[in-house]
Every structure is written in structure tokens, then in C-alpha cells.
């Protein structure tokens, strides 16, 4: 085995940056939001339409969390009616390959699930 770097580092004292990353994308809609934003800037209402089933309160909360984590940028246009749009930050863009990795592994895991029936 040669995975001697990365999340296994240190004395296994509980502190692990992989967990930090997980906290960021743990939300029920976080990954889905990020996926929508890959296509570019989206307005609040665009996201709400794309993410069928999300309520205003929850969508707002998840976007605020992602913003606080530096993954998403929020722009308020001072107009009437108000317009707000969301975009990935550089940090958010750097997250995309990681999500690709999760996705790829998820496909293999799905195969396992299918096989174990």
C-alpha cells in the first residue's frame, strides 16, 4: 500500500482536513447547487427552479453557508425588483475535480449495491 500522504498524515489525533471539506459539501443541496453553478452565474430563482423541491428558507441557508465557506460568491444588484446572483469562487472551482472523484467512486459503489442483491 502506498497511500502514505494526504488524509492519513499525522498521528491520527482526530484532526483531519478531509472532515473539514466534508462539512462544506454536506448539506442536502450543496452538491446540487455547485453542479448548477458549473454552467455559470445563476440567479436565486434559477437555482430554486433547477433544484426542484427546495424551499426558499433552505436554499437561502445553504447558499449562505457556501458563501461563508468561500465556495460561492453572492452579488446583489440594487434594483427593484431585487436581483441577486451566485457564482463559484476560485476555491469553489477547485472543488470540482474533487466532486468528480467522489462521483467516479460513487459509480463503483453503486455497482456494489446492485451486485449485493
Q: Which residues bind a copy of itself (CB under 8 A)?
A: 1, 3, 5-9, 12, 14, 16-22, 24-26, 31-32, 35-36, 38, 50-53, 69-71, 91, 93-110, 112-113, 116
Give the x/- contact pattern for DNA in 6-45, rule: CB under 7 A: --------------------xxxx-------------xxx
What letter does residue 40 receive in the DSSP assignment? Answer: S
Distance set, CA 47 to CA 11, 16, 21, 31, 114 (Å): 42, 32, 23, 12, 32
Q: Cβ distance 72 to 92 under 8 Å?
A: yes
- In the complex, minimum distance from the CB of residue 82 to DNA, in angstroms, rounded to a whole number: 4
- In the complex, minimum distance from the CB of residue 76 to a copy of itself, in angstroms, rounded to a whole number: 19
> Which does residue 73 bind out of a copy of itself, DNA, none, counting CB within 5 to 8 angstroms by kind?
none
Q: Cβ distance 58 to 29 under 8 Å?
A: yes
**Dist CA 23 CA 70 (whole Å):** 13
Binding residues for DNA restricted to 67-86, rule: CB under 7 A: 74, 76, 81-85
Where does residue 23 rank: exposed (0-12), middle (13-18), buried (19+ CB within 10 A)?
exposed
Give the residues lining the site for DNA (CB under 7 A).
26-29, 43-45, 48, 53-58, 60-63, 74, 76, 81-85
Amino acid at each position: 500500500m502506498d497511500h502514505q500522504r494526504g488524509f492519513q498524515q499525522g498521528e491520527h489525533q482526530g484532526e483531519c482536513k478531509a472532515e473539514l471539506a466534508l462539512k462544506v459539501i454536506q448539506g442536502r443541496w450543496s452538491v446540487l447547487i455547485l453542479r448548477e453553478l458549473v454552467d455559470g452565474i445563476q440567479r436565486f430563482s434559477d437555482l430554486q427552479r433547477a433544484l426542484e423541491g427546495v424551499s426558499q428558507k433552505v436554499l437561502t441557508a445553504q447558499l449562505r453557508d457556501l458563501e461563508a465557506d468561500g465556495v460561492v460568491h453572492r452579488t446583489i444588484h440594487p434594483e427593484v425588483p431585487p436581483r441577486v446572483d451566485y457564482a463559484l469562487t476560485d476555491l469553489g472551482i477547485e472543488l470540482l475535480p474533487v466532486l468528480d472523484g467522489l462521483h467516479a467512486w460513487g459509480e463503483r459503489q453503486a455497482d456494489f449495491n446492485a451486485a449485493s442483491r
